[in-house]
Structure 1
């Protein structure tokens, strides 16, 4: 996360450069800069895949057979011709005119802008879905500015941060420079850990996947990774469809998919406004639906919405102006309606939707009675990069097993997360696996739970119990910190920096190990060797009768209850006395310091 934040700061610098060196509006310069980030990220992935291809590459006549576009297609990656590779652009001579470079049509190029435009066209030739999508206005910038931008984006953070990095950076741009592009209320980028959680619980394998509010395509990217990791080829197994009202987002989605070697059909603009159009005619045909739709959208025209269908439980509330005042239950209805007879849906939704009243409640009652609501997860504050609102994850499954047909799993994960910084929380990889494990046990998939316990044992490498491993690692970390302190105090000035760096690395690795052990303990103490049970304050499997009793609420907190607060063993009165003593001591020190400063000022004649 630190790397990506650093990268965002450098992007701020790049945008300032653009602003100072050109007369373009934020709309005009946003996409060209994103195009350069796309090029850099595409090159990073290209080098990784090329390395894999060359590992066991046969040779002919003593020479390794050169890589080709088809090799990359087989690995779900984008092939980059030499003139479209980032290091080629980065290392061009300063005087482009004198270099005698020719574009793909054989015409001589006289500026760096033309060379970058040519790189974009060469990439479009490699991917049908990118035709007309990549920016081609680089001649609007001076060679100096473009050269500086290429240098700024030549940043190792792009190699280190995986996932939907283009979308994350795009969101940063929208919020810093182009708020007018993201003027629709409720439109914001979906954090990777929420997307990954949805994908992990939905478990896409093969078939049709629709995201009717696809933004920059994060759901497609994570689904592609999930399918590829299971040993299949995502492009062969899945068909990706997207709708995205904002043209910029749709362009970004296509760029994002292309760099991950995925193909999809993405519709954008007015025809892709999901409230009024089923742009791909997929009602009732989808194996999977995933989305992070804009929350709480108002002023939706009710007559147009009704005519567009996909409302199996009827319309939400309509006001005197013939408008739907809150679009949340339109989205919820669509996600259900798009599913085929065994389809699964997972989506992000405003927390308020789990127990909103009026027509919403009627729709929710009908929905619960289908038996297809699978799981509900409450998510805490600060998971979104730009908004601090809490949310819920909803899951539908029309192919639920008979054992859980009339049951719903509720998980309250509002107090379970990792703090990234003051304004941002996320789920770590182990936390995602732990939450996923609760769903496996509820579904009766104990073999997946056992495999996770084995993974913990394998990573921790301890023959002891998780609790003992945790205690041992805690002790080892304490010892390491003690040793580091002693060695630093004894070291000469020239060695301090080296010793500090060495210990920082060892301590960080041990801390990671300790965190893993802590998560293993968290899971094992709740579910032992693999039998689901309700855990107060965390999870509860409720029957339809339970839900009816709660007025058809789908708020996890209403079912799981409140976990007992652990006694930390601290005597409150004693600790308050200590704090008071510390405060008085600090005040005395502060007064002495102020007196010394005043005395010094007098002596200096001030």
Structure 2
């Protein structure tokens, strides 16, 4: 399962940087002068995507009789978190402009039209495209019409903003510990604090990703974001603040974002939100030094625990605990906060430890989560998530405990350099927090959803499996006249027999798989939804998961054997010269078989995947109640924290996770598969060596 906010972006970014190189080479502009115009084009691309998504939803409602047949108005699109784009501002309209047309003028007019129709964006969009070469703008438009961006979801805007920050080497941002927060971390914060009402504040809002993900959470619950919450933000970089407003607008959202010198949180509180916020969420810059202690100390209401360490130059030597104090001070009596923080902060000593002790003694510190490195796109540093809950202060039983969760072993590898949480991993982390809060019903609902999905995916696999069986049969039928021709010796004989046997096994296994899925699907509606019932249903689905594993291996084997038949026939027996071999048809059938194999394997992966998610939860929490799990989670008392010098580092409490054994590893089948591959590689190597020898002979060497 690939992260939707990253799908296809690596290839796209390479092309994006080529355009940036074009801009740099063919203009007199500095990088910061063409950064915003490029982001403006990305805004048009995403705004157009969302416009057509909303339009399709509106038309579907009209067809279903859910809305009257009347002219569309802005509110129709706002309800679906989109802008009602004027036709001249839609990306496809601009793409249809005649080659060599006045693209720069058209883009500028498009931006003006959007600002005129959506006042919160007034003065925020770039409107200087006429200074760029028309041919270059046309190439940029075509680049932004890639499949990756036409179908992209998630905070793509923020992701590409981060890419530009890295590539343009904006050291002012990165050297101060500021970087874009990956969506999976933001979503994890949102899942824990659940920002569904009131004032939502981000005092280091960057490109606005925290607001966007909060909106997704609210919309997924069937609520209207702008009726439920009010967004406030600080962003000292004015260009970044514009991007945040644009990012909000493309999602049909509005917020009040203060920018520039008035938004330097260390010294200013422009929105005057102390004690007023229902939710605070942020990824502030880590480990900032040289904050003026005198200026910071003037606003004592935001520093309820006093200043952390101040050096001889009257500077705060590390601002982490300034931020941690600010987040606490902004919350109202029931407010929650979720904060990304340097891993160093949770066990920092000296004056930082004194501030941390005071913070813990309030009872507001609720959850601590350790995150491994490589989650940030441009930094390999690990981090921690801190969570506050001011309502916890007034509950003596809860105030005495903190949930320590070490998620460093929870991740998926998206690329060689980037890790994240899958959507299910995010939900599983949230489920642990639900148990901590006594919400076993939500835990069981999640388990139930995984099992239901496993059953549904099992039923859905019938189509791809039938397609694979059909394509395998086609290729075998095409190859059979040549493959069964009498020859001595016959290099195809053993492979052919093995292929026919594999075909029969695959057909029998598919029939058995479909029969068992049908039986489980019939039994599922009557399964009890309590914990014992779901445990029993989950265990009953293990046989389907095992069939998925075994059938995948058989399908891979059959496809490889079919490929070997073709390779041997063509390379060793010169099948192309035979009237019994329809080469073009065989090649088409082989390509079709590979596509069908990939689809079938993916279809079989899904049921097993969701059974494994249910296993992960119920094996660790078999009674649907929170318990300590070695290496993962522990509910820690204040006495334990005191004994550990007030440290809030989860790894110090939860212990080391036991090494997991992969029970699904099948050595024999893996070795057999490797043998098939190795045999083919050896034959290719022999052929290549022979060709090299012939070349040397021709050269007279």
Q: TM-score, normalised by structure 2?
A: 0.78
1:504 equivalent in structure 2: 598
1:248 equivalent in structure 2: 239
Instruction: Tell me whether 1:422 sits opposite 2:416 in the alignment.
Output: yes
Alpha-carbon separation, structure 2, partners of 1:180 and 1:369: 38
**Structure 1 stretch displaced more, 382-391 or 484-493:** 484-493
User: Is this contact kept in 2: 1:275–1:308, CA < 8 A?
Assistant: no
What's the offset of the Cα at 1:604?
A: 3.6
What's the offset of the Cα at 1:506?
A: 2.1
Question: SS where residue 554 of structure 1 aligns?
Answer: coil
Cα RMSD (Å): 2.5
Return the structure number with greater helix share: 2
Cα 1:396/1:497, change in 2 over 3 Å: same
Deviations 1:304-350 (A, max 9, x none): 11113311111010001110111111111101110000000001001
**Structure 1 stretch displaced more, 400-409 or 416-425:** 400-409
Alpha-carbon separation, structure 2, partners of 1:469 and 1:444: 32
What's the offset of the Cα at 1:147?
A: 1.1
Which residue of the other structure, out of 376, 398, 409, is the alignment partner of 2:368? 376
Instruction: Indicate the structure (1 or 2) with the bigger Cα radius of gyration.
Output: 2
2:644 equivalent in structure 1: 550
Alpha-carbon separation, structure 2, partners of 1:407 and 1:159: 47
**Structure 1 stretch displaced more, 223-232 or 257-266:** 223-232
Instruction: Tell me whether 1:15 sits opposite 2:90 in the alignment.
Output: no
2:81 equivalent in structure 1: 76
Which residue of the other structure, out of 437, 444, 461, is the alignment partner of 1:443? 437
Instruction: Tell me whether 1:315 sits opposite 2:307 in the alignment.
Output: yes
Deviations 1:189-217 (A, max 9, x none): 10010000000100112100100000010
Question: SS where residue 628 of structure 2 aligns?
Answer: coil
Mapping 1:129-208, distance limit 5 Å: 129-180=120-171, 182=173, 184-208=175-199
2:390 equivalent in structure 1: 398
Deviations 1:13-36 (A, max 9, x none): 221222233221100010001100
Mapping 1:291-302, distance limit 5 Å: 291-302=282-293
What's the offset of the Cα at 1:494?
A: 2.9
Which residue of the other structure, out of 541, 549, 552, is the alignment partner of 1:477? 552
User: Is this contact kept in 2: 1:347–1:393, CA < 8 A?
Assistant: yes
2:538 equivalent in structure 1: 465
| Structure 1 alignment gaps of length 5 or more | 97-110, 571-585
1:353 equivalent in structure 2: 345
Deviations 1:161-190 (A, max 9, x none): 211110100111111125256354211110
Alpha-carbon separation, structure 2, partners of 1:161 and 1:513: 25
Question: SS where residue 391 of structure 2 aligns?
Answer: coil
2:616 equivalent in structure 1: 522
Instruction: Tell me whether 1:232 sits opposite 2:305 in the alignment.
Output: no
Instruction: Tell me whether 1:290 sits opposite 2:365 in the alignment.
Output: no
1:340 equivalent in structure 2: 332
Cα 1:601/1:46, change in 2 over 3 Å: same
Question: SS where residue 265 of structure 1 aligns?
Answer: strand
What's the offset of the Cα at 1:59?
A: 12
1:576 equivalent in structure 2: none
User: Is this contact kept in 2: 1:27–1:181, CA < 8 A?
Assistant: no
| Structure 2 alignment gaps of length 5 or more | 1-5, 456-519, 525-536, 567-585, 666-680
2:508 equivalent in structure 1: none
Q: TM-score, normalised by structure 1?
A: 0.90
Question: SS where residue 57 of structure 1 aligns?
Answer: helix
How many residues of Structure 1 are paired with residues of Structure 2 in the alignment? 573
User: Is this contact kept in 2: 1:30–1:178, CA < 8 A?
Assistant: no
Cα 1:327/1:605, change in 2 over 3 Å: farther
Alpha-carbon separation, structure 2, partners of 1:29 and 1:330: 35
Cα 1:210/1:568, change in 2 over 3 Å: closer
Which residue of the other structure, out of 336, 358, 364, is the alignment partner of 2:356? 364
1:102 equivalent in structure 2: none
Alpha-carbon separation, structure 1, partners of 2:662 and 2:71: 64
Alpha-carbon separation, structure 2, partners of 1:529 and 1:226: 28
Cα 1:326/1:594, change in 2 over 3 Å: farther
Which residue of the other structure, out of 8, 11, 19, is the alignment partner of 1:3? 8
What's the offset of the Cα at 1:598?
A: 9.6
Alpha-carbon separation, structure 1, partners of 2:152 and 2:144: 14
Alpha-carbon separation, structure 1, partners of 2:14 and 2:550: 38
Question: SS where residue 410 of structure 1 aligns?
Answer: strand
Alpha-carbon separation, structure 2, partners of 1:568 and 1:83: 57
User: Is this contact kept in 1: 2:305–2:355, CA < 8 A?
Assistant: yes
Cα 1:567/1:94, change in 2 over 3 Å: closer
